[in-house]
């Protein structure tokens, strides 16, 4: 099974296995903000949490149905998700992902609907006192900067990816070629599975969100930082499951290349 274009496809359709160097900063936002972001049937979880993550993807492999494996060179990626519920299932609604590197965003976006956008740069820099992460958008705005402060005593191993990331609920949207509506507008449940965490730590963090018309992450206001996690772990992104059709889609940013 291959992706577009058929003559010279950019990707093969396969489940992903990858080792990641991953930073997550979780923070509490306002409940009314989360409610405004979520498309029905997703509902806010009990605690209005958002998570900004920045990661380096190392040796990503995509296993195709015919047995072949597609491999990608290392690349940085970042994103922001809010905690939500689908029925009784706790999960994450991804607002936007940023990816640096040509064509690395096509797989997760075109197959699963993960909201990947090209970034000018994605920063993940470690130093003796902690880790800094950030995104410079395609039009040159430093839309998010996070800082994780290393604790004085580190545990043996920490999974840097929150447990509520195990079920991501993106929207897969494919506009109609006729210019009206969508050919596909469905909620998808995508499993994220982690294993083999090594090293890592849990500390405090800081969040800076810069206003942007195209990427209005500043709307997801940071009330207080809950924790920052950093470490290395193996990540499996499995095939998705289609859920409900979604007709009312909350939209906040608009394309802006100025």
The CA distance from 26 to 28, in Å, is 7
Is 151 within 8 Å of 201 (Cβ atoms)? yes
The CA distance from 31 to 170, in Å, is 20
Give me the pLDDT at residue 111, please. 85
Whole-structure pTM value: 0.94
The mean pLDDT of the chain is: 92
Is 197 within 8 Å of 233 (Cβ atoms)? yes
* Fold assignment, 15-245: Acetoacetate decarboxylase-like (2.40.400)
Give me the pLDDT at residue 1, please. 67
| b/e map 98-122, b = 16+ CB within 10 Å | bbbbeebbbbbbbbbbbbbbebeeb
Tokens representing residue 41 in the block: 């049937």
- Percent of the chain exceeding pLDDT 70 equals 98
Q: Is the pLDDT of residue 190 over 90?
A: yes
Domain ranges for the chain, please list them: 15-245
122-149 pLDDT per residue, tens: 999 999 999 999 999 999 999 999 999 9
Ranges of beta strands (E only) in 43-181 are 43-44, 49-63, 69-71, 75-86, 89-99, 116-127, 130-137, 142-149, 167-168, 171-175
């Amino acid at each position: 099974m291959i992706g577009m274009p058929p003559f010279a496809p950019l990707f093969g359709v396969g489940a992903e296995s990858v080792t990641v160097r991953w930073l997550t900063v979780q923070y509490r936002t306002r409940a009314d903000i989360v409610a405004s972001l979520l498309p029905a049937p997703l509902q806010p979880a009990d605690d209005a949490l958002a998570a900004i993550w920045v990661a380096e993807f190392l040796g990503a492999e995509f296993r195709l149905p015919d047995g072949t494996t597609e491999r990608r060179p290392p690349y940085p990626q970042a994103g922001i998700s809010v905690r939500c519920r689908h029925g009784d299932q706790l999960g994450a609604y991804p607002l936007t992902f940023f990816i640096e590197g040509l064509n690395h965003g096509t797989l997760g976006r075109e197959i699963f609907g993960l909201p990947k956008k090209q970034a000018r740069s994605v920063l993940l820099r470690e130093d003796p006192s902690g880790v800094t992460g950030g995104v410079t958008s395609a039009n040159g705005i430093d839309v998010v900067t996070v800082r994780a402060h290393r604790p004085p005593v580190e545990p043996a191993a920490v999974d840097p990816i929150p447990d509520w990331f195990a079920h991501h609920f993106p929207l897969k949207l494919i506009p109609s070629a006729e210019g009206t509506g969508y050919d596909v507008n469905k909620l998808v449940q995508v499993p994220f599975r982690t294993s083999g965490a090594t090293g890592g730590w849990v500390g405090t963090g800081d969040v800076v969100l810069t206003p942007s018309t195209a990427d209005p992450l500043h709307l997801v206001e940071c009330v207080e930082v809950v924790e920052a996690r950093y470490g290395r772990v193996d990540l499996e992104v499995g095939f998705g499951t289609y859920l409900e059709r979604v007709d009312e889609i909350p939209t906040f940013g608009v394309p802006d290349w100025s």
